[in-house]
Structure 1
Amino acid sequence: MDLERRDEHSALPLPRQHAAQDKVVAEFGYKPALDGLRGAAAIAVLYAHVVPDLLPGGDVSLYLFFALSGYLITGLLLTEISRNGTIDLPRFYGRRAIRLLPAILLVLAAVAVLTALTPTGPSWTAMAAVLFYVGNWYRAFGGELGTLTHTWSLSVEEQFYLVWPLVCLAALAVAVRRRADPARVLAWVTAAGCVLALGIRVLLVDGPTVRIYNGTDTRIDFILYGCLLSCLIRTMDRERLARWLARAFPVALLVALAWLVFHRPQQGDALMWTVGYTVIAVSSTVIVGHLGLRPDSRAARPLKHPALIWLGKMSYGFYLWHFPILAFLRAAGVPVAALAVLGLVLSVGMAWASFRLVEAPISRRLYRRLAARPQ
């Protein structure tokens, strides 16, 4: 988390005791195992798309990404609040745009070219939905994204990024008025959001499951549990929380693996579409939390393999490219055995090329401009 410090006083000064949070914040740093988890999840989702009959629950990889996003983004925002007493919204949104837009624009350009040359690509309406990060709602109400189907989850995350800093600022305002801990106020808000998402799933469970699967309102708790974890780290005894997560980790891992191998949701399976989603969301968060708080645990060691860490740092680009590449290879008649190898090699290659030739140069240039912006 690379936050810049601000020298001026905040417009919303925090109570004096909250300056002690900087000591907690200082304990948070780069965790290689979390990048390794990203890399492992990226590989899992690719092979789930190669052999969906063998790995029908490959969407569990997305849930790990969701939990990671909530955990890390909330940690970044709470760190900024602790240091500066506010959130620099232009800087936050600018950093998100710099991080996310170059890669997805490149993928959309490539898919647009293929769509113009072949009749099998997604519609222009579908590509516009992906571009404006509403692809999940386009799918939820019957639209087809074709070779961009996988981007529904990115739409959910981007909508979260748009709203969550505003929620954090609202929680901060309440905390200042009541001289309370902003992380504690935010934890209550987050917990309420998780309950609300479950309630919406219960209300919609008799309707089309595509609505539950893709809706932001029915999926937001997958991210919010990660947000709640970040809040709890700052409001609970850290060691006690770490011990609890360590005890829960084996069960959470077993749930995630069972989901990956056996999960085959049916239209009438109300329990799975409601409580089942809550169970896998919590399990994903426990996995992330254990690796974040116990970075030297036995579970974290295999995730520190350099190859997984390397891939994890490019997992966003890898995820963007893998699905169109697999669709192109299938259309070309590549058999499944070769698809498993070629899909991985080409996805890694395109992610690396995108990162090195497009994302990194653009990001470096724009980050410098953003850092130089008057605060």
Structure 2
Amino acid sequence: MSIAQRNARIDVLRGVSILLVLFHHFNIAYPLKDTVPATIFATPVVQAIARNGNYGVTIFFVISGYLMTANTLRRWGRLDAIDARRFYALRAWRILPCMFLLLAMVSLLAALGGTLFQNRGFGEPPLPMWMTALASLTFWMNVLIAQHGWVNYPLGVLWSLSVEGVFYLAFPVVCLTLRRPLFIGAFCLLFIVAGPLYRLAHQGDEGGFLYAYLACFDGIAIGCCTAILVARGTHPWISTRWLQCMTILAMALLYLCWPISRSNVLGVTAMALGTALLLAGASGKTVAARSAGYSFLAFCGGLSYEIYLFHLIVLGLMRTAIPPITASSEVKLGLLAGYLICSLGVACAVARFFSRPFNPLARE
């Protein structure tokens, strides 16, 4: 999506999602449960926000499916008119340059002796760097993680790119084969039904219920179906303030009240459907920022891909310089602020000098 065509409300939703992911990863690196009771980190609400960052990725999946389908309809008018070669080229120009940069940075830091940037074995010989790089570029990092654990700290984020990448590869084939939106929607419905069933069958296996293809495809499929329905016209009640507010409230309650380890079977589906309602309500609306907070969230959403890819490099360097065991509650507050600022700064630099020059045609 070009900068002129960006939807501020969708960017705000992306901004919320990426900040949830960042906070979740900070909590893993510097556990907030170890802070003293007098700090804000010790409050139940903050603890609940920190534990469920994977739901932020669920929201991303729905947005990806929605934009992939909506932009296909915008560019070619019909799903069965998709130009597969151009679709793949646009996706490659958006995804691969930043991924190559990430792999180069991680490899350099590993060669310089950074332990957190090297592959780890967890009781078995570490996998070679070429294998994690290959898994990253060919979209099976999630499979590698399920089989061998978190083999490389900063490259772990690429599990979600693997899920999206496989769906991207299949999307033009499905559109050109099934052709009619009804059949394409029915195909997506298979994944929507299979998702909770797969998660139910893999309870107790984090690599299964959180990171496997079939555990995540339902979110992207829900996004695709939402775009198809929006293209056919939506009823005005979908964008009414009361429905949007009730949807946000329900998503917030789901997020805060149950850990994803217990709520994932239907929770992921519910979070995805809530996101779909928000997207349907935001369709066609390019509302200008109404407050500093709104502007900040939209800004983060516009940089969400760069933030997501590179924030663990910032956190890895921080963990190397200040080991979590040595960080007091007061130090953690300063580290969190520095981590967020540096992650945004790195993302801005990557976008300004690298990803946008490589990607003049599409920003999805």
Fold match by TM threshold 0.5: yes
Partner SS for 2:96: helix
Question: Relative to 1, partners in 2 of residues 1:304 and 1:217: Cα closer, same or farther, differing over 3 Å?
Answer: same
Residue 343 of structure 2: which of 340, 347, 350 is its match? 347
Q: Distance in 2 between matches of 1:310 and 1:66?
A: 19
> Do structure 1's residue 292 and structure 2's residue 287 form an aligned pair?
no
- 1:9 aligned partner: none
- 2:216 aligned partner: 219
Q: Which amino acid aligns with 1:306?
A: S
Contact 2:175-2:184 within 8 A present in 1 as well: yes
> Do structure 1's residue 318 and structure 2's residue 318 form an aligned pair?
no
- 2:65 aligned partner: 70
Contact 2:251-2:274 within 8 A present in 1 as well: yes
Q: Distance in 2 between matches of 1:303 and 1:93?
A: 37
Q: Distance in 1 between matches of 2:158 and 2:115?
A: 20
Give runs of aligned pairs for residues 353-372 of structure 1, distance below 5 A. 353-364=349-360
Contact 1:130-1:151 within 8 A present in 2 as well: yes
Q: Distance in 2 between matches of 1:277 and 1:163?
A: 22
Q: Distance in 2 between matches of 1:72 and 1:199?
A: 26
Contact 2:11-2:297 within 8 A present in 1 as well: yes
Q: Distance in 2 between matches of 1:285 and 1:141?
A: 32
Give runs of aligned pairs for residues 228-307 of structure 1, distance below 5 A. 228-235=225-232, 237-240=233-236, 242=238, 248-266=243-261, 269=262, 272-292=263-283, 301=290, 305-307=294-296
CA deviation profile, 1:44-99 (whole Å, cap 9, x unmatched): 22122223552111122212211111111111223344269621111111111111
Q: Distance in 1 between matches of 2:311 and 2:97?
A: 16
- 2:55 aligned partner: 60
Question: Relative to 1, partners in 2 of residues 1:68 and 1:137: Cα closer, same or farther, differing over 3 Å?
Answer: same
Identical-pair percentage: 26
Q: Distance in 1 between matches of 2:286 and 2:185?
A: 24
> Do structure 1's residue 136 and structure 2's residue 142 form an aligned pair?
yes
Question: Relative to 1, partners in 2 of residues 1:67 and 1:201: Cα closer, same or farther, differing over 3 Å?
Answer: same
Question: Relative to 1, partners in 2 of residues 1:228 and 1:85: Cα closer, same or farther, differing over 3 Å?
Answer: closer
Q: Which amino acid aligns with 1:279?
A: A
CA deviation profile, 1:304-347 (whole Å, cap 9, x unmatched): 83333333222110111112211220221164212211111111
Q: Distance in 2 between matches of 1:260 and 1:330?
A: 27
Residue 94 of structure 2: which of 89, 93, 99 is its match? 99
Q: Distance in 2 between matches of 1:251 and 1:122?
A: 45
Q: Distance in 2 between matches of 1:40 and 1:276?
A: 18
Question: Relative to 1, partners in 2 of residues 1:280 and 1:96: Cα closer, same or farther, differing over 3 Å?
Answer: same
Bigger mean CA offset, 161-170 vs 248-257: 248-257
Partner SS for 2:24: helix
> Do structure 1's residue 169 and structure 2's residue 145 form an aligned pair?
no
Contact 2:191-2:214 within 8 A present in 1 as well: no
Q: Distance in 2 between matches of 1:85 and 1:159?
A: 19
Q: Which amino acid aligns with 2:266?
A: V
Contact 2:116-2:316 within 8 A present in 1 as well: no
CA deviation profile, 1:108-157 (whole Å, cap 9, x unmatched): 11111111222332421334322322111111223323222222111111
Q: Distance in 2 between matches of 1:66 and 1:143?
A: 22
Q: Distance in 2 between matches of 1:321 and 1:285?
A: 27
- 1:263 offset after TM fit, Å? 3.6
Q: Which amino acid aligns with 2:311?
A: H
Q: Distance in 1 between matches of 2:222 and 2:295?
A: 28
Contact 1:252-1:287 within 8 A present in 2 as well: yes
Q: Distance in 1 between matches of 2:271 and 2:264?
A: 11
Q: Which amino acid aligns with 2:174?
A: V
Bigger mean CA offset, 118-127 vs 219-228: 118-127
CA deviation profile, 1:231-255 (whole Å, cap 9, x unmatched): 11133x4225625x76543343123
Give runs of aligned pairs for residues 149-188 of structure 1, distance below 5 A. 149-172=156-179, 182-188=180-186
- 1:48 aligned partner: 24
Question: Relative to 1, partners in 2 of residues 1:34 and 1:319: Cα closer, same or farther, differing over 3 Å?
Answer: same
Query: Unaligned regions of 5+ residues in structure 1, if any?
Result: 3-28, 173-181, 369-375
Contact 1:40-1:308 within 8 A present in 2 as well: yes
Contact 1:32-1:304 within 8 A present in 2 as well: no
